Structure 1
Amino acid sequence: MTETVDGATEGVSSLTEVGEHVTKDDKTNEGNHAPEKDEANMYRYIKDDLFTSEIYKVEIQNLPKYIGFNDLKKFLNKHSLNPHKIKLMGKQSFAFVTFKNQEERDKAMKAVHGMQWKGRVLSVRLAKPKADPILKKRKQEESAAEGGQPACKKPAGGQDEEEEDEEPLSIQIANAVTPLWNVPYEEQLRRKEQEVEGVLQRLAREIGNNNKAMLPWLFIQKEKCNKMCCPLEAIRPSPVQTEYRNKCEFVIGMGADGEDKTVGFRLGKYKGGSCAVVSPGDTIHVPAQAKRVVQDFQQYIRTTPYSVYSPETYDGHWRQLTVRTSRTNQIMAIVFFNPQKLPEEEIETLKGSLKQYFTVGAGKDSGVTSLYFLRIGQRTSPNTEDLPCELVAGDEWIHEELLGLKFRISAHSFFQTNTLAAEVLYSAVGEWAQLDQDSTVLDVCCGTGTIGISLAKRVKKVIGVELCQAAVEDAKVNAEANGLTNVEFHCGKAEDIFPTLLNAVVSTNLTAIVDPPRAGLHSKVILAIRRAENLKRLVYVACNAKAAMNNFTDLCRAPSNRVRGAPFRPVKAMAVDLFPQTMHCEAILLFERVDYSSQSADAAEQQTADG
């Protein structure tokens, strides 16, 4: 199970431990509704061979006042602990923390229990898991029905749920996956620009709190830039606002219209008690080629005896379909299948049937050129990048063209989901990086090498770092296919590789370009960047600028025993819209290493103006 509550799953190691941590309130009304049976059902998802970090959940008590999520995460990381998920309970001075396995959980319990932090002695105990959202919601509805009460409160807008449900499914799914579909595009851009403006205003406050030496410069910036830490350039729109997604992930489940084995998008999240799926036929961000593959695949699975996988009962087989398309008219389809206890011979027969259907059968016209089969088990982590993909039919890769260059894309490789808007994004990165023939570029979280390769002809050398092995292989092939010899790529965690690479680079004209996942860069990477005094400029591409706030702050904070090297400061920022019809966008921030003599000159200039 990949997700239950609060976007993650958290818990203890067995139902026996659950019973030890059930509160008295959980055992009230004993004898009325077989509470022991209800309790077992509520926590069924932590049994059997299911993936859930609910099994490895602890409660940390007596936390210091006024700490935030990131404070606790940094505290745990400092002591070599790697939490999977953290839920801070605010003013109640405790937090729930989950881990990926028992070893890490037990290590954390041993290390943290009795430890002092900001004058508080911490205590740790095993924590009770949260109830399965679907079963919990169903139980609430049954209790409400027995008591003659409505199961849900009336929405704040005054419209009751029955009226809400009367909206056509096409409207409901549009609201769920493209919430800005009925907002004029200019207004969408204004809202996104406003979001980034808010991030820069918050960053100004964070810099002021963490680096007093920057206050004179910061005062000037805030005066000139509407309380922001740097100028915000006008947002750059996406060249196309519909059918732009070149990668779509579709779940498989019971349709909201009652049709079984439906391929599409969920109307709501599992934690909200909903598993209903709606076809993507009416969504405006999915290209027609992908919709055709979905339709044909749906027809195929409805002819098979295999049921859809149920996140409630953990039975069933069909789980997900991922479709990747390209401007070169190639299509990759990846089928996610839970084999349960099917014999290997039966699975091989199924793969042969899939191949026949998409190569010479009714699905041939969908145009699939690469067909993959991925086995996903109960204990499979939400991150499926490490799972082997079995090529069933067609080519191993698809290819894309971007900025006049050619790129090979594997099943697991990262590639920006809006190709035309990615060209806008990478062009802006190239403009801001201020490169010349003596420059060395460090491309961190480089994926298939798109950014570094697009800049390679303008610089002396490009060094890329990427975690996904398949993406690194693609990047190497892509560099060769585009006739580049000054590019090298390294596979591994950025926090492990980056410090060594920085020490090996002797260039005095060194620029880093980072395009990390949503959570941002590991703190070790930021510390390595700060220590590399020859690294004077950094372009940060953030798909979630709010989530990257810690990275931004650490780049700018005052030097200390932990954070060595002169700080950076933001020079300018810009939003680029890669995700029309949604509130998401990419933000680019240009950071430059602080020159204290220049900073003093800025302050003197301001004092002269004020005097």
Structure 2
Amino acid sequence: MADSSSSTVSEAAPPKECDATDFTDDVSGTSDPSMYGYIKQDLFTSEIFKVEIQNLPRFIGFNDMKKFLAKHGLNPHKVKLFSRFAFVTFKNEEDRDKAMKMVHGMQWKGHVLSVRLAKPKADPIQRKRKQEEGEGAGGQPPSKRAEGEEEEELSVQIANVVTPLWNVPYEEQLKRKEQEAVAVLQRLAKEIGSTNKAMMPWLFDMKGKHNKMCCPLETIRPSPTQTNYRNKCEFLVSMGADGEDKTVGFRLGKYKGGSCAVVGPADACHVSAEAKKVAHEFQKFIRSTPYTVYSPETYEGHWKQLTVRTTRTKQAMAMAFFNPQKLEETELDVLKSSMKKYFTDGEGKDSGITSFYFVREGQRQSPNAEDLPCELVVGDGCIYEELLGLKFRISPHSFFQVNTAGAEVLYSAVGEWAQLDQDSTVLDVCCGTGTIGISLAKRVKKVIGIELCQAAVEDAKVNTKLNGLTNVEFHCGKAEDVFPNIVSALVSPNITAIVDPPRAGLHSKVILAIRRAEHLKRLIYVACNAKAAMNNFIDLCRAPSNRVHGAPFRPVRAMAVDMFPQTMHFEMVLLFEREGNSQQQSNNQEETVPVCSP
């Protein structure tokens, strides 16, 4: 479900919201005060609530660490584990102090733990600047390139960042993604072997037939379109790599690598012409305003990001993210009025925008985009898309697959594998605007959707009416909270669950509820990052235990669908069936399916 393409450049500055996989300065001893100016700002950063836990037992893993902290009622924001120590950040001082008081002196597997305050991570931009100043003092200045040569290099550089396979033939791209899918299934086979010994005879047979994989892998299904396919793009607003201020585009590198410069999307092969036009007109507009771009170094400035969504129906939604800082409300009203005039009667009237939102992004607000105040400035509140002959409403924060033509391929494959009839009940978990469930509704008795985002649920309910459906219902809430009650209340003999979760996968409580629901025999898992979802796959298949109740599942079919051409990302679909559903498993094994080889 999560948007996996590398084109969505939305990395926040690490000092504001640190990446748990990168705490280089925690161990490098950086001590220059200028490196830590951000922690003195009136901003949210977990870096000021960070501790170091020392003398950890040997051979513990990340999950062991998280379980240990949770067992003692601690709620960390980020965890970075090293060989014998870990850095842990918290959301507030109270949680940090509670952890220090509770963990210090505690015994874990024979080791007495100690806790101390940890130094915050240095600002990567400041760190790079210091390095460059040091190199400049004793080194030669970089040689100047001809203007045309530099422009060409920038277009290649940004292509390598957002579409790294842009110069690889499409057949070769598909081959590489198939090889990635093979590696996932081979690893899953090993994990099943180590977590469920009872499956070894079946697993031995599967590995022998399918190149050491746990199930057959069908030939990858290509995207119908390989260029201009994205219906959603997130453009940053920053200084251009060419020196032009207030540039709308993609970041040339990552903030933690010391880069804030962006390059416009004109040469990006995956961005639609409609989105490029919107970005171009928005850039012209903000350059006409007195407001500067937001700086992740100083947390000053205003313009931050532009999100553009386009549809086959020739509608376009834009969302301008703006930090008001200390501007008066009257100044903001003037800005919004000028924006409305520009895009309705001014130069931007032919931009194609049918819906324009002004989004205030303050200093201490939630990092979740759906929680930000969102004000409609121009046009209609929603846009509409057509998919598989159905109509779908999309509001600003609702999830919708970024490749519409590819989504039709994906959902068609899910429909083929679900083996549904008029007695079937479909559980659509992490359903977004309801696309999967609605596309299957006419073939089944009932569809029940579960989704966290309230706006998406509202869209999903509207979409059922738009398509004349009466057998679909939606529930808003965390899947781990809502799913167990729904599935336990179902008495249908023919239940199929379809899960399309965010990149990190399903919460473990959902997996445990699926395992307990013995009447749930079939599960189709749509993973936008199969490696991240691996723990889900393993828990579905592992042997029953005190923690995991219910008969395990087996993977019986798998397939990759290319939703993100020009990148290494793809969607992976796995069909799991409950062990003991022998007749159905036998039928599946007898089916002739094209099996890919690496």
- Show CA shifts across 1:177-197 (max 9, x none): 000000000000000111111
1:275 aligns with 2:266: no
- Residue 200 of structure 2 is matched in structure 1 by 215
For the 8 Å contact 2:30–2:122, the answer to whether it is kept is: no
Q: How does 1:76-225 map to 2 (within 5 A)?
A: 76-89=69-82, 92-148=83-139, 168-225=153-210
TM-aligned CA distance change 1:26 to 1:253, over 3 Å: closer
- Residue 70 of structure 1 is matched in structure 2 by 63
Aligned partner of 1:125: which letter? R
Q: Could you say which structure has the greater relative contact order, defined with CA pairs below 8 angstroms and 6 or more residues apart?
A: 2
Aligned partner of 2:301: which letter? G
From 35, 59, 64, the counterpart of 1:42: 35
**Could you tell me how far 1:537 is from its partner in structure 2?**
0.7
From 450, 456, 459, the counterpart of 2:441: 456
Q: How does 1:95-494 map to 2 (within 5 A)?
A: 95-148=86-139, 168-494=153-479
Aligned partner of 1:595: which letter? G
TM-aligned CA distance change 1:8 to 1:342, over 3 Å: closer
When the two chains are superposed, the root-mean-square deviation of aligned CA atoms in Å is: 2.6
Q: Report the secondary structure of 1:399's partner residue.
A: strand
- Residue 508 of structure 1 is matched in structure 2 by 493
TM-aligned CA distance change 1:111 to 1:334, over 3 Å: same
- Show CA shifts across 1:296-343 (max 9, x none): 110010111000001111110000000000001110000000000000
State the alpha-carbon separation in 1 of the partners of residues 585 and 401 from structure 2. 41
State the alpha-carbon separation in 2 of the partners of residues 406 and 26 from structure 1. 55
For the 8 Å contact 2:230–2:270, the answer to whether it is kept is: yes
Q: Report the secondary structure of 1:333's partner residue.
A: strand
State the alpha-carbon separation in 1 of the partners of residues 260 and 526 from structure 2. 34
**Could you tell me how far 1:97 is from its partner in structure 2?**
2.1
- Show CA shifts across 1:556-582 (max 9, x none): 111111111111111111000000000
For the 8 Å contact 1:570–1:591, the answer to whether it is kept is: yes
- Residue 35 of structure 1 is matched in structure 2 by none
State the alpha-carbon separation in 2 of the partners of residues 5 and 24 from structure 1. 17
- Show CA shifts across 1:142-174 (max 9, x none): 1223344899xxxxxxxx9x9997852111111
TM-aligned CA distance change 1:597 to 1:479, over 3 Å: closer
Q: Report the secondary structure of 1:498's partner residue.
A: helix
Aligned partner of 1:132: which letter? D
For the 8 Å contact 2:429–2:479, the answer to whether it is kept is: yes
State the alpha-carbon separation in 2 of the partners of residues 410 and 346 from structure 1. 27
State the alpha-carbon separation in 2 of the partners of residues 260 and 356 from structure 1. 23
- Residue 581 of structure 1 is matched in structure 2 by 566
Q: Report the secondary structure of 2:218's partner residue.
A: strand
Aligned partner of 1:395: which letter? D
1:545 aligns with 2:530: yes
1:592 aligns with 2:577: yes
TM-aligned CA distance change 1:363 to 1:449, over 3 Å: same
State the alpha-carbon separation in 1 of the partners of residues 216 and 196 from structure 2. 20
Q: Report the secondary structure of 1:329's partner residue.
A: coil
Aligned partner of 1:382: which letter? P
- Show CA shifts across 1:235-285 (max 9, x none): 000000000000000000000000000000000000000011100000000
- Residue 18 of structure 2 is matched in structure 1 by 9
TM-aligned CA distance change 1:530 to 1:340, over 3 Å: same
- Residue 505 of structure 2 is matched in structure 1 by 520
TM-aligned CA distance change 1:568 to 1:23, over 3 Å: closer
Identify the range of structure 1 (418-427 vs 200-209) with the bigger mean alpha-carbon deviation. Answer: 200-209
- Show CA shifts across 1:34-77 (max 9, x none): xxxx41x2111112222322122222222232233333334434
State the alpha-carbon separation in 1 of the partners of residues 155 and 116 from structure 2. 47
Q: Report the secondary structure of 1:142's partner residue.
A: helix
State the alpha-carbon separation in 2 of the partners of residues 450 and 294 from structure 1. 28
For the 8 Å contact 2:224–2:405, the answer to whether it is kept is: yes
Q: Report the secondary structure of 1:229's partner residue.
A: coil
Aligned partner of 1:243: which letter? N
For the 8 Å contact 1:64–1:93, the answer to whether it is kept is: yes
Aligned partner of 1:93: which letter? R
For the 8 Å contact 2:26–2:118, the answer to whether it is kept is: no
Consecutive unaligned residues of structure 1, counting only runs of 5 or more, are 12-20, 28-37, 152-159, 603-611
Q: Normalising by the residue count of structure 2, what TM-score does the alignment of the two structures yield?
A: 0.91
